Structure 1
Amino acid sequence: MRFCFGIIWFFLIGTPLYSQDTLFVNKHQFSSPVQNVFEARETVFAKTTLALYQLEGDNWVEIQENFSKPYVFYKNTFFESDFIPNSELFDINSIKELIPQRGQFIATAARSGSRFFIATGSELFEYEIRDHYTRSYHNKSIRDIYIEDSLKVILTYSGIFVNDSVELENPKYSNGPLTKIDSQYYIAWDEISLFFPPDSTHGIPNATNLFSGKARKVLSWKGENYALYTQSVSKILPGFELQPIHQGLEYLDLEGFGNNLVFATSQGVCLSWDGEYVDTLAQVPSIINDIYPVGNRLIFSSDDGVYEINPDKPEAFQLADTPFSVMTSLDDFNNLWIATENGLFVLIPDYPRPIPIIPDVEFNREALLLHGEILYVGAVDGLYQLNTYEIEKSYLPNLLNTLQVPVSERKSTWLIGGALAILGFLVGFILFRKRRKELQFNPQYASKNEWSLEELKAKILSEKIQTIEGLASYLDTNTVQLNRNFKQFKTTPGKFLKKVKLEEAKRLLNKGIDMEEVAKTVGYSSQYIKKELIDK
């Protein structure tokens, strides 16, 4: 089993890496002590006291070549050394928490894809670098994420943080989400407090009583406010007096769904209230942790997996066999993200089973937020952040290739893929050099100081550019350089692209163009456009 040791910031062979999770995988065994490790010929080599080994898949193959000196490296060809050159040394101090105590001195390192090797203390350790997500708020158990244009609130079991800087004095923790109703912010933390950004709060005296239990959520429905407690679902009357509409069970979530208010219970029952009567809407085999309304569908996260009811199938049926599911969210690509106590999964339209994206992490209820292209997921050990566009366009296709190709066929596939990759690299490099020479004589976009936001906006609309990568490609640059260049405008490519697309969506809607057509034009889902332009 792989154990998550923590987040690292470090430099690998002079190249900076972004914040990411690194997990211990294996300690490799050799017949003699390990001297050093290095990259060469698109793989990894390990030098021991007696031999040199090349990594092939998961196996180390001995190189039939004799070396008389303790260390071997590669520069155009193999060469020996009596010592490790400074250029090959790896600074162990930045990641010493990952290395056994006795190995924390002279070290070398090598990376192959997501595999990271460290040779130190006569041992060779392997780690997996998961760089498709980042993690912050380390070792904080995240309870909720709230983000709007000028406000970001991260609610945890050990503090509430505003705009990544301010920590509220009271309450000291959160047990439920932050909700905004009619410009007022409510924090559920066993009791309920009003929140006045950025740092003021006021407890509501009448927000709890003996029958209600502990506060978990405040919700607006049909112009009136409701509160979810562990022992009751109540309507909020003037003065915050609580009028129960249902009691006697343990309640875990509350949502508005069309003309009804629906609430989930630990008994696996979803109840529905139409303003007068409570009725049973659905039942699943285990505790319902979360209700997620999507159009005319309801998706339930339960300890037995993810279930759905819709007009075509009024009986709950299982969408995903993901035990201990705590919350779901649908992104713009129609991928269903499933947070569980055993990891984060995604259920995509073209693959029959949930795909693990962040395994072996315990995620929390009510701690899943899709904000634009960014998915925020709260866990017991911090806040995870993923770019759903990058996952859809890059990470998932590569992952699906390994999932869908039978094991017996993968070796030949890798060989063919490797040859094609090398060929593609050579062609790409030639084209890059050619394009670079052209830019020297045609600097229309070579000088980023010549850009203006109005020109970029016009190009985005005329060329129907819908992604950051598309904008970078049109300007003959990459996303990293694009982000750097946008600093002069005091914004980011993502924020600017979102602004342009939403402004265009608003203009088209005002002209009376159908919502679905607008969604296709700007590359956002109709649900997201409605949320950003109409519901706010």
Structure 2
Amino acid sequence: MGIAYPQDTLFVNRHLFQSPVQNVFEARETVFAKTTLALYQLDGDDWIPIEQDFSKPYVFYKGNFFESDFIPDSELFDISSIKELVPQRGQFIATSARIGSRFFIATGSDLFEYEIRDHYTRAYHNMSIRDIYMEDSLKVILTYSGIFVNDSIKLNYPKYSNGPLVKINSSYYLPWDEISLFIPPDSTLLIPNATNLFSGKARKIISWKGELYSLHTQAFSKVLPEFELQPIHQGLEYLDLEVFGEDLVFATSQGVCLKWDGAKVDTLAQIPSIINDIYQVGNRLIFSSDDGVYEINSDNLEPLQLTNTPNAVMTSLDDFNNLWIATENGLYVLIPDYKDPILIIPNVEFNREALLLNGEMLYVGAVDGLYQLNTYEIEKSYLPNLLNTLQVPISERKSTWLIGGALAVLGFLAGFILFRKKKKEELTEVRNGNKNEWNLEELEKRILSEKIQTVEGLASALDTNTVQLNRNFKKLGTTPGKFLKQIKLKQAKEMLREGKDLEEVAKSIGYSTKLIKTELNLD
């Protein structure tokens, strides 16, 4: 019986043959596919026919090839474990084969290929993760769908989160548009004066020189007794707040980073695009922006662009001095002594304020769940093993391995992506008569008519995968997640205009009533 893999498994391709596929199997360190007319061997990315005649429908291998009129139980694969990834209706008898990260399933006369990403795991599937908080006996995962404590408790209120949980002295502050005190494990208390009309929505609380400061969407404020807010700076859209040296620094959507020394506000630095996140490490200040990642330090305040990774939302530095970069298009790592970032998790939309390094484990929140990576295993096993598959000699990390390894990884990833793109485009041309340009208006009609709720559902409806889906949406200047959200909120607005009840609207589009109120600025 074939096994199901606990890691992320993604649909990559449907392989086409001249006749229906009967079964697939592993042999001689590669994969073979039996069709009604021939037996094929996988050679790189090509299927090579084997010059040997077989009279029975199925072929397997045990020391030598042998024929069969049926599929033995030992060769069957239980397709129910990943049935949502199989782009056909109904359940059929299936066989499977795996080589490296490539996984093949033969079912219903078709052969499908998947990519198994076993260098990370994913939890909280299909939840949009907003923050991760961990200490010795407390783990809090904050999402748009609820706030979960120690993987077993879901808070009754608030229903979602929009900012990072922070512990100051012995108190836990929870921003979620407003601000609540969190009393572990399952109690919260709303702070009445923590938001007001001038401040906008709460995003962050920080302690500096024995006093509390808050960041809201419309104001940076000092927190007075009874939690009243005294505005220090207003008039911009504010996105992050951190301590840097002797100052507080806060970022804006205009690309300006301002500093507060306790007496006045000055401009610290400016970059060409919105600053989504500030990360302080030593005397360095790292900005995540839509144009990539920038850095300043206390000795040189002129911004230096570290990467041009688009739509960067957050960064973190691990014990190996690797800089992890979460973006709306994937997770990257920038290793020392090499200028280009390496793509570790492609085509995933990660969130702001949702990146936490806890010991060796890196937790990264995305719109579709919580991704977990062991930085030690990535450093010591994943990258070297990837290089081994290319038969590239590995030497010491700090010299030849670092440069040659990074180049090899980039070359492998680039070649892999280009190959998948070419294959998928060829398949699209065959099916759609060369029509591989998508129209947002047509996609919107289809999403509404078929009541598509998720990125995975949209990919399935378009007979593609999330990788190719993201690539096509990039050409249209957006992401699938953003486009779905835009359509859902437009649909909600129309339903409310028609007099529908808010609870009915929320149930129809799959969002909470609080989120709809927030996004549509409802009273």
**Fold-level similarity (TM above 0.5):** yes
Once the two structures are superposed, residues 125-147 of structure 1 have per-residue CA deviations (whole angstroms, 9 ceiling, x without a partner) of: 00000010000111110000000
- The answer for the alignment partner of 1:278 in structure 2 is 265
Hey, what's the Cα distance between the residues in 2 that align with 1:407 and 1:380? 26
- Cα distance change, pair 83–372 in 1 and its aligned pair in 2 (3 A): same
What is the TM-score normalised by the length of structure 2? Answer: 0.74
Question: SS at the partner of 2:84?
Answer: helix
- Cα distance change, pair 58–292 in 1 and its aligned pair in 2 (3 A): same
- The answer for the alignment partner of 2:207 in structure 1 is 220
Please provide the CA RMSD for this pair: 1.7
1:394 aligned onto 2:381: yes
Q: Which runs of 5+ in 2 are unaligned?
A: 391-405, 414-523
1:365 aligned onto 2:368: no
1:205 aligned onto 2:208: no
How far residue 105 of structure 1 moved from its aligned partner, in angstroms, is 1.1
Question: SS at the partner of 1:207?
Answer: coil
Q: Which runs of 5+ in 1 are unaligned?
A: 1-11, 411-536
- The answer for the alignment partner of 1:241 in structure 2 is 228
Hey, what's the Cα distance between the residues in 2 that align with 1:408 and 1:330? 24
- Opposite residue 74 of structure 1, the aligned amino acid is Y
- Cα distance change, pair 318–392 in 1 and its aligned pair in 2 (3 A): same
How far residue 400 of structure 1 moved from its aligned partner, in angstroms, is 5.3
Q: Of the candidates 75, 88, 92, which is equivalent to residue 75 of structure 2?
A: 88
How far residue 101 of structure 1 moved from its aligned partner, in angstroms, is 3.2
Once the two structures are superposed, residues 4-57 of structure 1 have per-residue CA deviations (whole angstroms, 9 ceiling, x without a partner) of: xxxxxxxx735x64x211111111111111000000011000001011110010
Once the two structures are superposed, residues 234-260 of structure 1 have per-residue CA deviations (whole angstroms, 9 ceiling, x without a partner) of: 111110011111111110000011100
How far residue 409 of structure 1 moved from its aligned partner, in angstroms, is 12
Question: SS at the partner of 2:115?
Answer: strand
Question: SS at the partner of 2:376?
Answer: helix
- The answer for the alignment partner of 2:112 in structure 1 is 125
- The answer for the alignment partner of 2:511 in structure 1 is none
How far residue 351 of structure 1 moved from its aligned partner, in angstroms, is 2.8
Q: Of the candidates 304, 322, 333, which is equivalent to residue 320 of structure 2?
A: 333
Q: Of the candidates 48, 52, 56, which is equivalent to residue 65 of structure 1?
A: 52
Hey, what's the Cα distance between the residues in 2 that align with 1:312 and 1:216? 30
Percent identity over the alignment is 80
Question: SS at the partner of 1:205?
Answer: coil
How far residue 405 of structure 1 moved from its aligned partner, in angstroms, is 4.5
- Opposite residue 115 of structure 2, the aligned amino acid is E
1:378 aligned onto 2:369: no
8 A Cα contact 1:103 1:120, kept in partner: no
Hey, what's the Cα distance between the residues in 2 that align with 1:157 and 1:323? 24
1:30 aligned onto 2:11: no
- Opposite residue 265 of structure 2, the aligned amino acid is V
How far residue 397 of structure 1 moved from its aligned partner, in angstroms, is 2.4
- Opposite residue 71 of structure 1, the aligned amino acid is Y
Hey, what's the Cα distance between the residues in 1 that align with 2:94 and 2:299? 61
Taking the TM superposition and a 5 Å limit, the aligned residue runs for 1:443-458 are none
Hey, what's the Cα distance between the residues in 2 that align with 1:332 and 1:409? 26
Larger radius of gyration: 1
- The answer for the alignment partner of 1:404 in structure 2 is 407
- Opposite residue 76 of structure 1, the aligned amino acid is G
1:269 aligned onto 2:293: no
1:353 aligned onto 2:356: no
- Opposite residue 255 of structure 1, the aligned amino acid is E
Taking the TM superposition and a 5 Å limit, the aligned residue runs for 1:177-188 are 177-188=164-175
- The answer for the alignment partner of 1:13 in structure 2 is 2
Taking the TM superposition and a 5 Å limit, the aligned residue runs for 1:464-479 are none
- The answer for the alignment partner of 1:100 in structure 2 is 87
Hey, what's the Cα distance between the residues in 2 that align with 1:219 and 1:180? 9
Q: Of the candidates 122, 133, 140, which is equivalent to residue 146 of structure 1?
A: 133
8 A Cα contact 1:69 1:80, kept in partner: yes
How far residue 157 of structure 1 moved from its aligned partner, in angstroms, is 1.1
Once the two structures are superposed, residues 364-420 of structure 1 have per-residue CA deviations (whole angstroms, 9 ceiling, x without a partner) of: 00000000000000000000000000000011223456563499999xxxxxxxxxx
8 A Cα contact 1:102 1:121, kept in partner: no
How far residue 99 of structure 1 moved from its aligned partner, in angstroms, is 1.2
Once the two structures are superposed, residues 150-202 of structure 1 have per-residue CA deviations (whole angstroms, 9 ceiling, x without a partner) of: 00000011210000010101111101000100110000000000000000000
How far residue 316 of structure 1 moved from its aligned partner, in angstroms, is 0.4
- Opposite residue 332 of structure 1, the aligned amino acid is D
Hey, what's the Cα distance between the residues in 1 that align with 2:289 and 2:410? 33
Number of residue equivalences: 397
8 A Cα contact 2:295 2:306, kept in partner: yes
**Larger CA deviation: 351-360 vs 51-60:** 351-360
- The answer for the alignment partner of 2:219 in structure 1 is 232
